[in-house]
Structures are given as C-alpha cells and as structure tokens.
Amino acid sequence: LQVHTFRGPHWCEYCANFMWGLIAQGVRCSDCGLNVHKQCSKYVPNDCQPDLKRIKRVYCCDLTTLVKAHNTQRPMVVDSCIREIEARGLKSEGLYRVSGFTEHIEDVKMAFDRDGEKADISASIYPDINIIAGALKLYFRDLPIPVITYDTYSKFIEAAKVSNPDERLEAIHEVLMLLPAAHYETLRYLMIHLKKVTLHEKENFMNAENLGIVFGPTLMRPPEDSTLATLNDMRYQKLIVQILIENEDVLF
C-alpha cells in the first residue's frame, strides 16, 4: 500500500467515510487499486486480487502478484519457456549454460511483457533454444523477490551445511515448507523440468551439479547485497539446487 494524494473528493472503500485533507489523504494498493484511509488499511486483508489492468508487464513483477492477477498456479512465462525447451531443446549441448544472444533474449522478454501467454517463442522465430533458456533465467533474475525468498535464504544456506545427507534433506524439506505458495509451486515445477534435463546428460552434458552452478545464483540472492556473503554462499547455493534437482520426487 502506498500513500496517495487523491485529486477531488474521495471516499474510503473500507469504511465508506470521506477522506479529509488536500494531500496524502489515504493509501492506495498498487496491485488492485483499492483506496482506503491509512487507519482502515490495517483491517484490509492482504490477499487482494490484483487488477490485470494495473499490471503492465510480466518481467520484474512480484511473483505472487503476477500469479494472482492471472489466476494461475505459476507464472505463465515459466510454463511457456519450459514447454518450448522440453519440446525441442532437451538434447541441446550446454542447455542453460550456453548463452543465447542478449538482444534476442530481450526480444522474448518484450514479447511476454506485451503479449503475455500469447507471446510467440516458437522455433520459426527463435530457432536457437538458448534464447528461450536465457529468457527463462532472466525472468528469475529480474524478480523483485527471488524464487527462494529473502526470508528463507539463510535457512536454506544453514540446511545445506548439515553434513549428514538424510538430515540435510530433512532440513531442506522443512525450509521448503516456508516458501509462499506461488514460489513453492514455481520451484517445484522448475525442478521437475531440470531433472528431465539431467536425464539427457549424454547429449546435453548438463548434470545436476552443472545446473546447480547456473541456477544457484539465479534462484537465490542474499537479502543484504554483500559480495563476501555471496562468494561464501556460492557453493551452498549450487548444492541446494543440485539437491533439489536430484531429490525433487522426495522433496516436493
């Protein structure tokens, strides 16, 4: 909710009373556009249904907001890219490691922002599958809150440090339960996909460890941006993703 200055008289949509004052009379929800008194905002439930008209783009938009606005379980970008990659890219050498052409990845991003699920990412327009893989990674990197949220970041790192493999799996499973529904579902779906990628390792040379190196920093970032923390945590980020891929059937 953001403090908002309304032009002309305005009434609170919670208590139906007039909003007094000339500036900053109340607050407006940036997702659904609800206008309420600052006092009333305490009583408004947080689970608003965001108004699609207010969500101008797909990339850089909060994951939960996007999912609620489109009334889906996961962001449709994730579904579209994974569907395309599984249809024609699983045997592509260095999948997710080889970079696609940056300008083309930006094109895909713009197509999703503009056309949503109608975006055409087929082979006729983007024959290089690395562009689609790059667009998917960019979507995750652009999230304001990473798939593995800032709130759970340190708990995941701690879980990865447990030395006994069974206890470590248990610890990771416990932290997974703390993720918001949309984040959990997105992560689950991605891990099932990455597991499929590893089944074609003979052709694509991508095993769970390699994918962990690529996706660790893409899916999780430390809450405070310290280079040292990031460097120290990198091997644990890799390990977490590697474990999630290898054990997706048990963990999710």
Strands 2-4 and 35-36, sheet pairing: unpaired
Q: What average pLDDT does the chain have? A: 87
Helix (H) or strand (E) holding 77, with range, is: helix 76-88
> Per-residue pLDDT tens for 63-76?
888 888 788 999 99
Q: List Cα–Cα distances, 180 to 150, 152, 171, 228, 230, in angstroms.
A: 11, 10, 17, 28, 23
Question: The tokens 């990674």 sit on which residue?
Answer: 137
Question: Please, which residues bridge with residue 35 across strands?
Answer: 28
Q: Output 145 or 28, whichever has higher pLDDT.
A: 145
User: First CA to last CA across the chain, in angstroms?
Assistant: 33
Q: List Cα–Cα distances, 21 to 16, 36, 95, in angstroms.
A: 16, 13, 58
Residue 51 has pLDDT above 80, yes or no: no
User: Helix count (H) and strand count (E) of the chain?
Assistant: 11, 3
pTM reported for the whole predicted model: 0.80
Question: The tokens 């879980």 sit on which residue?
Answer: 159
What value does the mean pLDDT take over residues 74-83? Answer: 96
> Per-residue pLDDT tens for 199-225?
999 999 999 999 999 999 999 998 876
Question: The tokens 């990628």 sit on which residue?
Answer: 197
Domain boundaries, the chain: 1-49, 69-250
CB neighbours (10 Å) of residue 182? 20
**Residue 10 confidence class, pLDDT cut points 50, 70, 90:** low
Which CATH superfamily groups domain 69-250?
Rho GTPase activation protein (1.10.555.10)
What topology is assigned to 1-49 in CATH? Wheat Germ Agglutinin (Isolectin 2); domain 1 (3.30.60)
Residue 130 has pLDDT above 80, yes or no: yes
Provide Rg for the chain, Cα atoms: 21
